[in-house]
Homo-oligomer: A and B are copies of this chain.
């Protein structure tokens, strides 16, 4: 049973089967990992952007991160870029970024203590949901000849999904370990995973990713 089965009814899933959605994209030869927005504001329960599951998700992400580190595979970490001008912040429909006192401290933008980037890992500062928009992520993936992007982090229905969509647009194999992503809402979380699995990439588990990495002679 898939984790979205209690949210997406059988009739709705049948509509997808009708056109042959779903199946498997599969791992390629050359994966990279992107950890989306696992900084305090999105992990620590005190902050307004956090999800209840985030600290546990961080621990699971860490197992995947360690596997990428052991093999010397490219790793990217994203966080929001703070901007002083409205045009540079964009049209986000949210008040906390500029009005919540907690978000005015640099601590809000520190990476979660268990997921601190190492010096040879790239930090991408972004403004919009996708890790690709307004950054050089595509260029860096090309530099490393990546064909597979493992996407972890938060929130599933927002920045994770946006990153998956751009990776799909660019013909990367998109892999999302479901236990490495979280969301403030369980319905949004499940629906995002369902739609990714049906159309854009493979929803798997952290264990599946570890198995794939172990199996590959890289």
* Residues of A that sit less than 8 Å from B by CB: 7-9, 12, 15-16, 18-25, 28-30, 48-49, 51, 74, 84-88, 90-96, 99-100, 119-120, 122, 127-130, 133-136, 138-145, 147, 157-158, 162, 165, 168-174, 184-188, 191, 194-195, 197-201
Contact = CB atoms under 8 A, between A and B. Distances in A.
A28 to B, nearest CB: 8
Contact of A91 (B127, B171, B184): B171
Nearest to A18: B48
A101 B128 CA distance: 36
Given A8-B188, A145-B145, A136 B88 contact: yes
Copies of this protein in the assembly total 4
Contacts of A133: 136, 169
Contacts of A99: 20
Q: What are the 7 closest A-B residue pairs judged by CB atoms, nearest first?
A: A20-B95, A12-B185, A87-B143, A19-B48, A19-B96, A15-B184, A134-B136
Contacts of A169: 90, 128-130, 133-134, 139
Given A12-B188, A185-B15, A171 B139 contact: yes
